[in-house]
Amino acid sequence: MKLVQGAGRASAIPSVDRLLHAGSFAPLLAQHGRTRVTALLRRHLEELRRAARAGTLEPGALADGILAAALAARLTESARLALKPVFNLTGTVLHTNLGRALLPEEAVRAVTRALTAPVNLELDLESGERGERDTLVEPLLCELTGAEAATVVNNNAAAVLLVLSVLAQRREVLVSRGELIEIGGSFRLPDIMRRAGARLIEVGTTNRTHLRDYRDALGARSALLLKVHTSNYAISGFTASVALEQLVKLGAARGVPVAVDLGSGSLVDLTRWQLPAEPTVRAALAAGADLVTFSGDKLLGGPQAGLIVGRSDLVERLRKDPLKRALRVGKHTLAALEAVLSLYRTPEFLPERLTTLRLLKRPAAEMEAQALRLAPRVQQALGGSYQVATTPLGSQIGSGALPVDQLPSHGLVIRAPRSSRGALVPLEGALRALPRPVLGRLKDKALWLDLRCLEPTDEAELLAQLDTLGSIGPVP
């Protein structure tokens, strides 16, 4: 029915100025400020005018109190930050889309100090002269890896880009065809090569590469031998690859540096905690690598950063290049990185102090007990439309870090009585729409909630949110 009489007309819509002086708008102005309130009020009134012209404006919508309430809802919604915490129940600990590693308390405190007070980012406190920000973490990196020198950029892709651009621009880089990786977002190593101005020389085949392949491809234009750790996939079966030690000997004989991209970059032997083996940075340098690049926010358990360690002369060339300045990190990253690296000085305490390692080695029995605790409460919150059960699961270390290795885990599986995957879509969407979104996995006509990353202290918040869901019935 069209409502075009009296207060339903566009001419009846009050002016912005009158509403801003109305008593019901005073609390909004005090909380959100005149600029924001005015902007959203103009937008809201314009929508009401369009409704009036269409004949669908109800007279009651123009009361001062109703307008103030509608504007308050808009202001609250617009004030919500886009970046928000979520419950990671996907089963992937180092989840690229969810920010990867969680920082330990020591790093959080260090970042807070760095962001709320002036710091000696580029000031040598001994001399009073301008300093180099790398010196804040370089000694620690050298101590922990055995490197001569180190520098930091904003992620590992940037680290590889810097190495290639400085050491191999307009020259050749030899890489095994089986190591031409693609990382998240369809970002491929050959693309980085082109952007750096280096010429990629593929050696060997996808599944088998021999030392003679590198030897035959080396020439006068060869600038670098690059070995890439394929941490985000695995080739099995009839395979062969060249050991780093062999590649180093070849590079030394031909005068060509060897760089290793470790990707995830572990600083310690993970097998001491019964986790899958991963090559360490120290081992790569001990094998003779001239440079090693790796991430700060994967297995290292720190902030997003790209770390480059190795020969002092090569690192110095990287540090002096203009591209380094474009890729450098800020004080908050350096503060977090220094705090995390400091934890590695006492590796026996890492399982308790490093959040990533604590989550990776969490006992399956602990998660099973948690699942048994939560299952009846989740069932009660969801009602009879869904069936909730506990189940063993296999957690993934990371989408870009050891993705093929599974850790024994436990969690909840939610099914709809009609065994239809589509019947779970409303529930999965409702969980994502919660104030703190709950993220699981839809697979095999079920919604799986892996509890590895659910801290016991967060259980109450999770359950309180689920209690607000109300009735969410499966689709017909």
Residues 308 and 269 both lie in one domain: yes
Residues 144 and 72 both lie in one domain: no
Residues 18 and 142 both lie in one domain: no
Residues 327 and 294 both lie in one domain: yes
Residue 357: which of 267, 460, 458 has the closest Cα? 267
Residue type present at position 238: F
CB atoms inside a 10 Å sphere around CB 116:
8
pLDDT of residue 234: 62
pLDDT of residue 43: 96
Return d(Cα 117, Cα 267) in angstroms, integer.
Answer: 31
pLDDT of residue 400: 54
Domain boundary at 325, 353, 381, which?
353
pLDDT of residue 467: 92
Query: Above 90 in pLDDT, residue 239?
Result: no
Q: What percent of the chain shows pLDDT beyond 90?
A: 79
Residues 91 and 70 both lie in one domain: no
pLDDT of residue 405: 66
Range of the domain at 150: 105-353
Average pLDDT, integer, range 277-301: 96
Residue type present at position 159: A
Confidence of residue 146 (pLDDT cuts 50, 70, 90): very high
Average pLDDT score, the chain? 91
**pLDDT tens per residue across span 105-121:** 999 999 999 999 999 99
CA triple 194-290-315, angle to 5 deg: 75
Q: What is the CATH number of the domain that holds 424?
A: 3.90.1150.180
**pLDDT tens per residue across span 84-101:** 999 999 999 999 999 999
Output DSSP code: residue 50.
Answer: H
pLDDT of residue 185: 56
Average pLDDT, integer, range 369-389: 95
Contact partners, residue 300, CB within 8 Å, separation at least 6 = 101, 264, 265, 266, 267, 294, 307, 340, 356
H or E element that contains 153: strand 149-153
Confidence of residue 202 (pLDDT cuts 50, 70, 90): very high
440 lies in some domain: yes
Residues 226 and 307 both lie in one domain: yes
Residues 316 and 334 both lie in one domain: yes
Which pTM value belongs to this model? 0.89
Residues 37 and 169 both lie in one domain: no
pLDDT of residue 60: 84
Domain boundary at 292, 327, 353, which?
353
Confidence of residue 205 (pLDDT cuts 50, 70, 90): confident
H or E element that contains 431: helix 425-432
Least confident of 237-241, 347-351, 380-384, 433-437: 237-241
Residues 375 and 242 both lie in one domain: no
Displacement of CA 103 from its chain's centroid (Å): 12
In the beta sheet, which residues pair with residue 187?
183
**pLDDT tens per residue across span 383-420:** 888 999 999 999 999 855 555 568 999 999 999 876 55
* Positions of E strands within 321-426: 387-398, 406-415
**pLDDT tens per residue across span 50-66:** 999 998 988 788 999 99
Burial of residue 352 (CB within 10 Å: 0-12, 13-18, 19+) is exposed
Domain boundary at 353, 386, 416, which?
353
Q: Which residue do the tokens 């690229």 mark?
A: 96
More confident residue, 289 or 383: 289
Confidence of residue 430 (pLDDT cuts 50, 70, 90): very high
Return d(Cα 456, Cα 384) in angstroms, integer.
Answer: 26
474 lies in some domain: no
Confidence of residue 103 (pLDDT cuts 50, 70, 90): very high
> Helix H segments across 205-267?
211-217, 244-254
Least confident of 6-20, 175-189, 338-352: 175-189
Average pLDDT, integer, range 443-455: 95
366 lies in some domain: yes
Residues 235 and 157 both lie in one domain: yes
Residues 262 and 236 both lie in one domain: yes
Reported residue count of the chain is 476
Q: What is the CATH number of the domain that holds 342?
A: 3.40.640.10
473 lies in some domain: no
1 lies in some domain: no
Q: How many domains does the chain have?
A: 3
472 lies in some domain: no
Residues 211 and 318 both lie in one domain: yes
372 lies in some domain: yes
Secondary structure of residue 3 in the 3-state scheme: coil
431 lies in some domain: yes
More confident residue, 422 or 197: 197
Query: Above 80 in pLDDT, residue 439?
Result: yes
